[in-house]
Amino acid sequence: AAYALQANYPNPFNPTTTLSFSLDQAQEVELNVFDMKGNHVKSLYSGYAGAGQHAIRFDAYDASGMELTAGIYFYTLRSNRGISTQRMTLLK
């Protein structure tokens, strides 16, 4: 599998969406969600991930358990290959 951060599905979403990424080799990765201002909203995954396809559900709640407001959010995949970013829209 090639290294890639795919578009979330569904997008726009309410209340859940799936964030997918593929890795060409096993490595440490972080998958995080940020708001429009660049504030960290939630860490969805942090740790070692094997090569291949990965899918993580996002439920539109922040790290403290508060429901997110409608709007545009960004999610980033950070690894030894750098940082990839995608955009998603939460509808209410």
Q: Report the pLDDT value the prediction gives residue 12, as an integer from 0 to 100.
A: 98
Specify the pTM.
Answer: 0.95
Would you place residue 15 in the very low, low, confident or very high pLDDT band (cuts 50, 70, 90)? very high
Q: Report the pLDDT value the prediction gives residue 38, as an integer from 0 to 100.
A: 97
CB 53 within 8 A of CB 22: yes
The Cα 36–Cα 42 span in angstroms is 13
Per-residue model confidence as pLDDT tens digits over 37-87: 999 999 999 999 999 999 999 999 999 999 999 999 999 999 999 999 999
- Six-digit token pair at 1? 């599998």
Would you place residue 2 in the very low, low, confident or very high pLDDT band (cuts 50, 70, 90)? confident
Q: Report the pLDDT value the prediction gives residue 75, as an integer from 0 to 100.
A: 98
How distant, in Å, are the alpha carbons of 12, 66, 83 from that of 70? Answer: 10, 13, 25
Q: Report the pLDDT value the prediction gives residue 86, as an integer from 0 to 100.
A: 98
Neighbours of 24 (CB within 10 A): 12
Outline where DSSP puts E strands in the chain.
4-5, 17-23, 27-34, 40-49, 52-58, 71-79, 82-90
Cβ-proximal residues to 40 (8 Å cutoff; 6+ apart), any chain: 32, 33, 34, 63
